[in-house]
Structure 1
Amino acid sequence: MIQIRTFKAPNDPEACEKFIVGHRKLLEIFGISKITSNRQDWVEDNNTIVILVEDKDTRTVYGGARLQIATGEYMLPIEIALGKYDAKIFQMVKEDQINGGTCELCGLWNSREVAGMGIGSYILARVGAVVSTQLPVKSIFVLCAPITVRMGKRVGAVVESDLGNRGLFYYPKDDLIATAMRLRDIRDLSHADEAEQRKIISLREQPHQLHDERGPKGTFKVEYNLLIP
């Protein structure tokens, strides 16, 4: 059975290492060697929450993501990635940090073993929106590949058209496009799809649930353990 759990990065070094190795392997398949969210300083950061997708019995890691809280100690990956193209990202993050707190959903990936199940394209974004209400934040930034822009919109994020070319950047390579998005108020899901609103609210109210999830490749069971220890 697939389990999705959350923890502070320093509390499970072994799981973090599996996360890093799996993410790196996936990036190498696509010829991407340098990406800001693949930096490893987050493993010692108490303000980084890991979302891990794994086999509950074997502990094989199938994917995951991170919520990195902006504290001033570390720049968010989106700041490092986009700052050299548009310095407005720094002010945008700073303002959100002051006005309620902010974080970034980053390092999102899933292995080929679970490709086509909707884990990377839908479930991880949903979990990020769920877990965020346990953190001292009001907003979430996310830098999306073209295939995951729809994912961001489903949970209520909007394209930050004031950045770059109406939110678009050539990143992490000149032949790839990334879109800067933000869920401006994690408590306001009015821009999210109705089905996603219901799922997010349900998991926020009850972080431990067993669900039959339906993806492009059919139905599968997922155990959600989303209360941060």
Structure 2
Amino acid sequence: MHSTSNFSEPVGSNIRIRVFKAPNDPDTCVRFVEGHQRLLEIHYGIAKVTSGGAEWTTHENTIVIVAENLEGTKVYGGARVQLADARVPLPIETAIGKYDSSIHTMANKGSAEICGLWNSREVAGLGIGSIFMARVGIAICDQLPVDKVFFLCAPVTVRIGKRIGGEVETALGDNGIFYYPKDDFVATSMIIRDPLTLNKAEPVEHERIMSLRQNPIQQKNESGPKGSLEVDYQLEINLR
């Protein structure tokens, strides 16, 4: 989960966080890809990461999470939950498979990955590109055939992974550590082994995630380090 930010106009006080199957909304997928790639290039000089490619936009087993304006015309950030299948490898497989081939065996049927987290500067400090997206990513797993969830974390987001019930997957790499997407960037492989019960999640996060599962359509005032937002959650996935 490598969260990034960008310079733009200030966001309003209301946003919507929405989920959908990637092929069901190609226009929003384009905005997602363009925003994510622009941030990686501007801030890190990274031309491409495995979670940033466009192949997932037509993938039936990729669920997209976006934070957008209420009109649905501007994407402020997002993430994806990609299910393992025989068609498209999980981004973590492509990212670290050349360093540790055991990821291909571990990412079997029933596996998923929360990937592609990003946010624009107008919501930086509000949690949109990190804890909100991670929380929603694991919350929607009860609607999916998932029994374990992987994610790659930058050093600053490892603590977020632990908050939602993750642990470092020490069986991969050097006790879970890889250098990705460049040699001077450290990535930590993490896993949630019980995405439905979340026994290792912090109590506050566990309560918030379960609230989103019980009421996937709700409006809530959410606070971050630098302010608060009224969030309209639309988390029911149309799986058709």
**Deviation (angstroms), 1:132:** 1.0
**Deviation (angstroms), 1:126:** 0.3
1:47 and 2:56 matched: no
1:10, 1:141 → 2: CA distance? 22
> What amino acid sits opposite 2:207 in the alignment?
R
Partner residue in 1 for 2:138: 129
Aligned to 1:162, the other structure's residue is in SS state: coil
Long gaps (5+) in structure 1: none
1:62 and 2:76 matched: yes
Q: How does 1:159-178 map to 2 (within 5 A)?
A: 159-178=168-187
Partner residue in 1 for 2:102: 88
> What amino acid sits opposite 2:41 in the alignment?
E
> What amino acid sits opposite 1:27 in the alignment?
L
1:53, 1:72 → 2: CA distance? 29
TM-score when scaled to structure 2?
0.91
Judge which range, 14-23 or 180-189, deviates more: 180-189
Instruction: State which of 206, 214, 218 in structure 1 corresponds to 2:223.
Output: 214
2:215, 2:45 → 1: CA distance? 40
1:169, 1:7 → 2: CA distance? 31
> What amino acid sits opposite 1:26 in the alignment?
L
Partner residue in 2 for 1:31: 45
**Deviation (angstroms), 1:188:** 2.2
2:91, 2:125 → 1: CA distance? 26
Identical counterparts, % of pairs: 54
1:58, 1:179 → 2: CA distance? 33
1:79, 1:27 → 2: CA distance? 20
RMSD across aligned positions (CA): 0.9
Instruction: State which of 88, 104, 107 in structure 1 corresponds to 2:116.
Output: 107
Instruction: State which of 88, 91, 97 in structure 2 corresponds to 1:77.
Output: 91
Partner residue in 2 for 1:5: 18
TM-score when scaled to structure 1?
0.96
Aligned to 1:56, the other structure's residue is in SS state: coil
Extract structure 1 runs of 4+ deviating beyond 4 A: none
**Deviation (angstroms), 1:43:** 0.8
- Say if 2:117 and 2:130, in contact at 8 Å, map to a contact too: no
1:93, 1:191 → 2: CA distance? 21
1:188-220 CA-partner distances (Å, limit 9, x unpaired): 212111110001001101101111111011221
1:40-65 CA-partner distances (Å, limit 9, x unpaired): 11111111100011011362100100
> What amino acid sits opposite 2:20 in the alignment?
F
2:161, 2:73 → 1: CA distance? 28
2:211, 2:52 → 1: CA distance? 31
Give the length in aligned residue pairs: 224
Long gaps (5+) in structure 2: 1-13
Partner residue in 2 for 1:144: 153
Instruction: State which of 27, 34, 59 in structure 2 corresponds to 1:14.
Output: 27
1:121, 1:65 → 2: CA distance? 9
Aligned to 1:130, the other structure's residue is in SS state: helix
- Say if 2:16 and 2:67, in contact at 8 Å, map to a contact too: yes
